Structure 1
Amino acid sequence: FWNAIEHPPLQEKAIQICVLGPLLLLADFQLPPFHMKVEHSVEITAEDNDIPVRGQIDILVLSDGFWVLVIESKESSFSIEVGLAQILSYMLAQPDRAQPAFGLIASGGSFVFLKLVRGEVNRYALSRVFEVRNPGNDLYDVLAVLKRFACFPNLDIS
């Protein structure tokens, strides 16, 4: 990661390879019962005007058809805020409306987790922003959160 940072720009695909790939491996998302889809196409329709919005989820982690985690990566020079509306729209496309949807935005050395609860009024919450450059390196905390998601069958997701 540090080598990639020293040779900007650190673009979306490089973040997926240098940062997200190793994190997902260490969090056991590349082992059963999980599998990943890359560039997964989704479509949602706005309820008020029936205009479909199409997009591609960068990385989708699934377990037995359940969307465990939606991941959106952004170029390191972009703010986390750039991906917020995009990932929320993808999370709204989760087929199981009864379950909360979880997401992660990764922008180089910055990470933020999201939770979306569907209802009459959809609600979402954000974690704090985890920064690799913070003293103590928040990357360990990001890995710890991902490992909690990997315990999905035993995880209380409410």
Structure 2
Amino acid sequence: MVALTAITRAILNFRDLEEKLGRRRTENPHFFPEWQMSLPELSATETTGLNRLSQRYLTYLETNEVSEGTLNIILLAPFLDMLGLCDPPYRIRGETWVEVQTQIDTEGGKITLEGRIDALTVLDNFWLVVIEGKRSSFSVLRAIPQAIAYMSATQYHPIFGLVTNGYDYLFIKCAGSEFGLSHNFSLLSDATGNLLRVAQVLKHLVRLNFRTINNGKGLTPNG
């Protein structure tokens, strides 16, 4: 019998990732160079739109806490749409349940972790970017172990993720049993420039993954 355990209860920190999923953070500076490489330029329309989204979010934040639902409406959904990730060949699949099975046995049998991914960019059933929509008071560092647990459900490597609570943005790369993290991009430290940088990194990782999984098919990404 396979036991079902919520990811939010079973994977709480980096130690849980290592002990239950065999995933450990690497300190190798060459493991995750993609977020620091030469990045695609943004159009004038994208730059104007992204700056507007940044100011919109900060305006909401000044008056009240931004809930997960509000965050998706005022920022994340238009952000993905602006980058062309809602249109073919990309697709956004929301409220997706992903099961992750550990490699260890317990007295009750193998443990399967189950949880919800708020937004998932999919291309031919391949995960391109995982976005964890969390409340503004939820630290992105607390969300990383759960995001990596979700990402572990795929057999493709490397795979990239983006964890955000609206004002903090942190990229993840998983390959084999290791994972690496980018710098934390915060809107509160740079209200406009950081979201532009996040958009550039995101576009670069999406295109990189597209080329990898479609090598030899003659397909090219939008944008």
Structure 1 SS opposite 2:116: strand
Matches within 5 A, 1:61-72: 61-72=121-132
Q: Deviations over 1:46-80 (max 9, x none)?
A: 11121111111111101122111111121111211
Rg (Cα) greater in structure: 2
1:146 is aligned, of 194, 202, 214, to 202
Gaps of 5+ in 2: 1-56, 214-223
1:155 deviation in Å? 6.2
Tell me whether 1:129 sits opposite 2:187 in the alignment: no
1:7 deviation in Å? 2.5
Q: Deviations over 1:11-53 (max 9, x none)?
A: 2122222221121012110111000110100111111121111
Gaps of 5+ in 1: none
Structure 1 SS opposite 2:104: coil
Task: Indicate the residue corresponding to 2:89 in structure 1.
Answer: 33
- Of stretches 4-13 and 145-154 in structure 1, the one that deviates more from structure 2 is 145-154
Letter in 1 for 2:157: Q
Tell me whether 1:112 sits opposite 2:170 in the alignment: yes
RMSD: 1.7
Would the aligned equivalents of 2:129 and 2:206 in 1 still touch at CA under 8 Å? no
Would the aligned equivalents of 1:103 and 1:113 in 2 still touch at CA under 8 Å? yes
Structure with greater helix share of residues = 2
Task: Indicate the residue corresponding to 1:45 in structure 2.
Answer: 101
The normalised TM-score by structure 1 is 0.88
The normalised TM-score by structure 2 is 0.63
Structure 2 SS opposite 1:108: coil
What is the CA–CA distance in structure 2 between the aligned matches of 1:154 and 1:134, rounded to whole Å? 33
Tell me whether 1:20 sits opposite 2:80 in the alignment: no
The share of aligned pairs that are identical, in percent, is 30
Higher relative contact order (CA 8 A, sep 6+): 2
Aligned residue pair count: 151
